[in-house]
């Protein structure tokens, strides 16, 4: 049984437990205050944001410390670390920015031009600890066109605002086992910065030729002539799970019938570090809004 099927089974079990226990809870007035000590997490874990690809001229990896559960800001930057990515033949050293406001960001302008497939290994050394991760570089389909359609619910008059669906079209790669992430831009500005705003999907149910909606946008946020674009990138099955579980524990956490039992967000980093290291191939296309 794979991770997602196991996760869905746990979801069903949680629902049954909820249905069995909900009626007794309704009729009891007993309350017990439980206080969890969640304020001592600051700096306890290394947080790694490492998404590198074959299109960006300069790649970066961000290192921060964990923050308190009650702290809505990002943890403090982690400086003076040794950060290296290797393909088994060449070592690419990432150098920390010298700009004070960009501490914790480590850059390399060589690796993006030299991707050759295979598995890439990340090594981070900091204060006597060594953290590692690996990611396979996989191809991504070439987007041959991008179109706009009226959202179904808008089309039948169920929404007050006019909603539009953004579709990408491409030839699917042979075989199964590919996973993708789509980012959306308007006039060059990223509209899907938060993990829960991104679109993820697998090729499990895709046809040979794919026409797929990857974003729904409100017409009030658009102007005639706006340029929109989509970046489609290859991700691993583990990264797919990362976003899948993130969604269930954030956007759906308030719904007892859709929410999931608490679980750690997956990571491919060793030694207790959090976050994810992903090497991706990227395909992109753009279009223009015309009303």
More confident residue, 248 or 232: 232
Q: How far apart are CA 228 and CA 279, in angstroms?
A: 25
> Cβ of 281: how many Cβ atoms within 10 Å?
18
Average pLDDT for the chain: 84
Residue 102 reports pLDDT greater than 80: yes
Q: Which pLDDT does position 145 carry in this prediction?
A: 95
Q: Residue 213: exposed, middle, or buried by beta-carbon count in 10 A (0-12, 13-18, 19+)?
A: middle
Q: Is the pLDDT of residue 70 over 60?
A: no
pLDDT on residue 19: 43
Stretch 269-274: mean pLDDT, rounded?
95
Helix %, strand %, coil % of the chain (to 5): 20, 40, 45
pLDDT of residue 72: 53
pLDDT at residue 41 in the model? 57
Domains annotated for the chain, with CATH where assigned, are 46-137 (2.60.40), 143-264+280-288 (2.60.40)
Beta-bridge partner residues of 32: none
The strand pairing partners of 247, in sequence order, are: none
157-204, pLDDT tens digit by residue? 999 999 999 999 999 999 999 999 999 999 999 999 988 899 999 999
Q: Which is more confidently placed, 113 or 267?
A: 267
* pTM attached to this predicted model: 0.78
Q: What percent of the chain has pLDDT over 70?
A: 77
Q: Of 262, 270, 178, 278, which Cα lies nearest the Cα of 7? A: 262
Of residues 124, 106, 85, 76, the one with CA closest to residue 272: 124
């Amino acid at each position: 049984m794979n991770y997602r099927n196991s996760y869905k089974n746990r979801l069903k079990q949680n629902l049954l437990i909820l249905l069995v226990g909900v009626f007794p809870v309704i009729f009891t007035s007993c309350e017990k205050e439980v206080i969890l000590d969640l304020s001592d997490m600051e700096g306890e874990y290394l947080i790694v944001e490492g998404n590198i690809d074959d299109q960006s001229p300069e790649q970066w990896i961000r290192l921060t410390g964990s923050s308190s559960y009650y702290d809505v800001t990002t943890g403090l930057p982690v400086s003076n670390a040794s950060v290296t990515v290797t393909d088994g033949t060449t070592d690419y050293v990432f150098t920390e920015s010298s700009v004070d406001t960009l501490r914790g960001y480590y850059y390399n302008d060589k690796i993006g031009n030299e991707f050759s497939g295979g598995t890439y290994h990340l090594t981070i050394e900091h204060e006597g600890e060594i953290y590692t991760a690996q990611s396979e570089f996989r191809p991504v389909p070439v987007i041959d066109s991008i179109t706009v359609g009226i959202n179904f619910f808008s089309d039948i008059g169920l929404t007050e605002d006019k909603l539009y669906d953004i579709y990408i079209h491409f030839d699917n790669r042979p075989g199964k086992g590919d996973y993708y992430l789509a980012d959306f831009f308007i006039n060059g500005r990223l509209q899907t910065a938060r993990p829960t705003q991104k679109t993820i999907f697998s090729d499990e149910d895709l046809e040979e030729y794919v026409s797929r909606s990857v974003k729904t946008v409100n017409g009030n946020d658009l102007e005639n002539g706006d340029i929109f674009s989509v970046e489609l990138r290859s991700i691993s099955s583990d990264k797919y799970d990362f976003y899948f579980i993130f969604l269930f524990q954030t956007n759906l956490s308030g719904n007892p019938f859709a929410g999931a039992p608490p679980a750690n967000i997956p990571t491919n980093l060793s030694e207790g570090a959090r976050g994810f290291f992903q090497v991706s191939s990227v395909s992109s296309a753009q279009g223009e809004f015309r009303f």
